[in-house]
Structure 1
Amino acid sequence: MNPEVSVIIPAYNTEAYIARAIASALDQTLHNIEVLVVDDASTDSTAEVARRFQDERVRVFVNDRNMGAAGARNRALREARGNWIAVLDSDDWYAPERLERLLQVAQAEQADMVADDLYYVQDGSDTPLSTLIQGSGHTITDIRRVDPVFFVETDVYGQQGLHLGLSKPLMRRQFLIKHGIEYDLSLRLGQDFWLYMNCLINGARYFLVPEPYYYYRFRPNSLVKQSKIARLDGYCRAAQSFLQKEQVRSNPRLVRSLSHNLAVFKRNRAYYRVVEPLKQQQYFKALLAAVQNPYFFVHFAGQISNILQRRWRYYFQKNTLAYETRLSNQ
């Protein structure tokens, strides 16, 4: 009998974290699962740590070369046998009831995708700073359907919003197979957003549960060392590609929303074409980029405002949490 859920864990140099991720999957209240770890050519003992689990539900694969998160996830998708796919990053972890709860909603709503809220946790602490929904500016208290327009409009680069591209939905494997959907290998970051977008424009029934069951760890060294210019180049190519798809072109609201996101990507790319050379002390290159982009200084002023707002929200949430912790200990 096939497992109900395949938990796929792409991993790269996370020997200090992966044991907790695997244990949180194995400790689910839903027992009929498999855990697929794909070590993406790590240079540490990540694979060895994964192999120490004496549980027949755990399978470990090691890539011959580093393929990035998209390549590791695609390999896991091809190896998966479950009815459902659940992604777990190797430095994150699940609450014990997560898969059972999401599966209940999926069955009740006849869903193809079910996401939950997620906790933001600073590395070195188990106490959440906030959640995805709390920081979004949206109030969501009930299970809600997510359509493509809502998905795009609430996930604008560099702006406050729901950012469901960060979520880790439970996904029906047969839906992915039927529509030939995999992660985009050309993207080192942000590939989740475009995979979910691909599902939505192909008719996926996507639901969001307001409770958080996923712990998303902020770790200083976890980000891919890729320039923002290269990252935004990838986002621009992805957006332009989606705008050519018939499923998008037939939806005028979606075209407007995605075109707006593309414009935001381009403005930010122009901004970083000035900022990144400045950081590298390439002043002539930065000046040339600024001259070629007359809107740079207007965008720069907006960026300063956004940075200050994000810093204030983080400071407020952090200190509110510390105050509440002190009260609970009195």
Structure 2
Amino acid sequence: MRWDSLAKNPPLVTIGLPVYNPGPFLSYAIRSVFAQTYPSWELVVVDDGSTDESLERLRRIEDPRVRVLTDGKRRGLPYRLNQILEEASGDFIARMDADDLMDPRRLERQVAYLLKNPGLDAVTTGAYMIDQRNQPFALWPARQPSLQDVLSWGGYLHASLLARRDWYQKNPYSLEYPRAEDREFFVRTWNSATIGVLAEPLYFYRWFGVVKPQNVLLGYASERKILWRYGPQLVGWRRTAVLIGKSYIKTFVTYTAYRFGLVQLLERRPRFSPLDLEDLAKAQSAIRAVAQARVPGWEILDGPENEGDKEV
């Protein structure tokens, strides 16, 4: 069902896109915005000190719904996410990362879900996993997480979050937990928020495999800070101690693997499910629709020489 059959005056959605040197992946992210079946949106792009050509390309977009904000500084993702919350003028705010893309029906489905469920503060979705060549290879299955899930890895697909603006602005991101700001966000709001989950994969999450060791170790350090702060009141001291111990073990294993050149052993996909032929066809169809979306001001840049514009 298309959105125009659901409402005559659809509420505005602010799509927040933090950007830092996204390279060729930016093309698909932006095109997936313009491919949306939902008609009422604005795109707020906040740059975090990019040094590639992404800013130049973003500034070529000729559409009043798109705002590109930059101060030339490197402040980090949590800071930029909060900047998006401050700049948003929509009734809803949708998260997105610059190396991912959205299914064309993403906003339509999520907004309709929140309007039909006024008691919910936000909603996330399932996702297709894609590689660096836009090839789908797995599903991120969506389900309502347990407290154990939220403490262990965040529980929800953060990048597919769409939330009511008033609630989101009352719950900004902390700057104290680098590489784990999403987990801290969901842990902190666990007892106060009502977040729904759409099982449908409406987001395409790009998988890069093994992450830089310093980022992994920084994430584990933030993980332990989160557990120390929130664990005792949520699961008690004994369970908190167990989780912190596991975090130290993961830190040791990660450090050892990098120290001895065994990084490939760290590449695990525990939450992914295999794609069947039907799912694969749906994913490829959505990616083709995104690839064909036109972005005003980008026409002269399109062509086979632009890696980010290649279709699957």
- Give the TM-score normalised by structure 2: 0.74
Counterpart of 1:173, as a letter, is R
**Match in the other structure for 2:235:** 255
The gaps in structure 1 that reach 5 residues or longer are 141-145, 282-303, 326-330
State the match for 1:123 in structure 2. 132
In the alignment, the residues of structure 2 paired with residue 76 and residue 22 of structure 1 have an alpha-carbon distance, to the nearest angstrom, of 16
- Please identify runs of 4+ aligned residues in structure 1 that moved more than 6 A: 311-314
In the alignment, which residue of structure 2 is the partner of 1:269? 248
State the Cα RMSD in Å: 3.4
Structure 1: distance between partners of 2:18 and 2:53: 14
How has the CA–CA distance of structure 1 residues 45 and 275 changed in structure 2, closer, same or farther, with 3 Å as cutoff? closer
- Aligned partners of 1:3 and 1:34 also within 8 Å: no
| Aligned-partner residue type, residue 209 of structure 1 | L
Q: 1:87 to 1:167 in 2, by over 3 A?
A: closer
Q: 1: CA distance between counterparts of 2:257 and 2:121?
A: 46
Which residue pairs with 1:168 in the alignment?
Answer: 160
* TM-score normalised per structure 1: 0.70
Unaligned runs of 5+ in 2: 1-8, 282-312
Deviation for aligned residue 1:277? 5.6
Deviation at 1:89, TM superposition (A): 0.2
Query: Aligned partners of 1:214 and 1:225: how far apart in 2?
Result: 27
1:31 maps to 2:39: yes
Q: Residue 171 of structure 1: CA displacement?
A: 0.8
The alpha-carbon deviation at position 14 of structure 1 amounts to 0.7
Instruction: Report if aligned partners of 2:50, 2:72 keep a CA contact under 8 Å in 1.
Output: no
Higher RCO, Cα 8 Å, sep 6+ = 2
What is the Cα deviation at residue 13 of structure 1?
A: 0.5
CA contact (8 A) 1:6 1:85 kept: yes
Aligned with residue 240 of structure 1, among 224, 228, 239: 228
Which of 207, 215, 236 is residue 204 of structure 2 equivalent to?
Answer: 215
The 5-angstrom pairing of residues 26-65 of structure 1 reads 26-65=34-73
> Matched residue pairs, number?
268
Alignment of 1:1-330 (within 5 A): 4-110=12-118, 111-126=120-135, 128-133=136-141, 146=144, 150-155=145-150, 157=152, 163-166=155-158, 168-177=160-169, 180-202=170-192, 204-219=193-208, 223=211, 226-243=214-231, 249=233, 254-256=234-236, 260=239, 263-273=242-252, 276=255, 279-280=258-259, 310=268, 317=274
Larger Cα-atom Rg: 1
Separation (CA, whole Å) in 1 of partners of 2:270 and 2:110: 33
1:176 counterpart letter in structure 2: Y
The one-letter amino acid of 2:203's match is Y
Report the CA distance shift for 1:238/1:277 in structure 2 as closer, same or farther (over 3 A). Answer: same
Tell me the amino acid that sits aligned with residue 64 of structure 2: E
CA distance in 1, matches of 2:220, 2:201: 29
Matched residues in 1 for 2:90 and 2:271: separation? 40
